[in-house]
Amino acid sequence: DAGITQSPRHKVTETGTPVTLRCHQTENHRYMYWYRQDPGHGLRLIHYSYGVKDTDKGEVSDGYSVSRSKTEDFLLTLESATSSQTSVYFCAISESKGTNQPQHFGDGTRLSIL
Amino acid sequence: AQSVTQPDIHITVSEGASLELRCNYSYGATPYLFWYVQSPGQGLQLLLKYFSGDTLVQGIKGFEAEFKRSQSSFNLRKPSVHWSDAAEYFCAVGPYNAGNNRKLIWGLGTSLGVNP
């Protein structure tokens, strides 16, 4: 299994508070992704990174920001959490060689915003 | 527009029966195709992938998938289902564009139930 650690695994917080989720990889892969998974919507890409300090938006980026200061860490921040951001968040990584590399996933963070 | 359709939201089969999960895609170029499985409370695990060559690909856990270009399909099969196969299955196509954009297009998933 790919070495991907997401923290925390579970979090409950209140509307309006800032929240940061961390994804840590030990594979030295160039690409990292943040998804959210909601019933009926499948996986939706929030942001992704193609290198240190190189990030871009996905399809549901509003209300989220990311940072990648080191190859191994990709942080997802909810500046002011809203109830609509209650979801399960997954981090994924993929290698840079070729365009056909699969993504490998962490075990997810279950985030509840009350 | 590029898209992935998994027509079956939920399927239930009996243990020991054969299984086929459908995946249809719309993609402007030769696709790279993936099947993933997600057990409850877990992340997604890669089952198999197709890039080129033999259109019948073998994966982990006894699964296989067949790429049919004429039908724009990449259906997942297993000859004999085990109770532990109960999970959510996702089909994905990619990459969407090239360069630094390595995004995948995901289907909404098929939930598989297995009756003892």
- Within 8 A of A99 by CB-CB distance, chain B residues are 32, 95, 98, 102
Express each pLDDT in B17-63 by its tens digit: 999 999 999 987 778 899 999 998 899 999 999 988 889 999 999 99
Measured between CB atoms, does A41 come within 8 Å of chain B? yes
What region does A46 belong to: left with phi over 0, alpha with psi -120 to 50, or beta?
alpha
- Within 8 A of A4 by CB-CB distance, chain B residues are 43
- The CATH number covering residue B86 comes to 2.60.40.10
Distance CA B110, CA B101 (A): 26
Give me the domain span that covers residue B21. Answer: 3-115
pLDDT interval class at A1 (50, 70, 90) = low
pLDDT interval class at A87 (50, 70, 90) = very high
DSSP for residue B97? S
Express each pLDDT in A12-47 by its tens digit: 999 999 999 999 999 999 999 999 999 989 999 999
Domains in chain B: how many in total?
Answer: 1
pLDDT interval class at A97 (50, 70, 90) = low
Express each pLDDT in B82-116 by its tens digit: 999 999 999 999 865 556 667 888 999 999 999 98
Instruction: Among A50, A101, A107, select the one facing B100 at the smallest CB separation.
Output: A50
Q: Which residues pair with A69 in a beta bridge?
A: none
Cβ–Cβ below 8 Å for A102 and B95: no
Domains and CATH numbers, chain A: 6-113 (2.60.40.10)
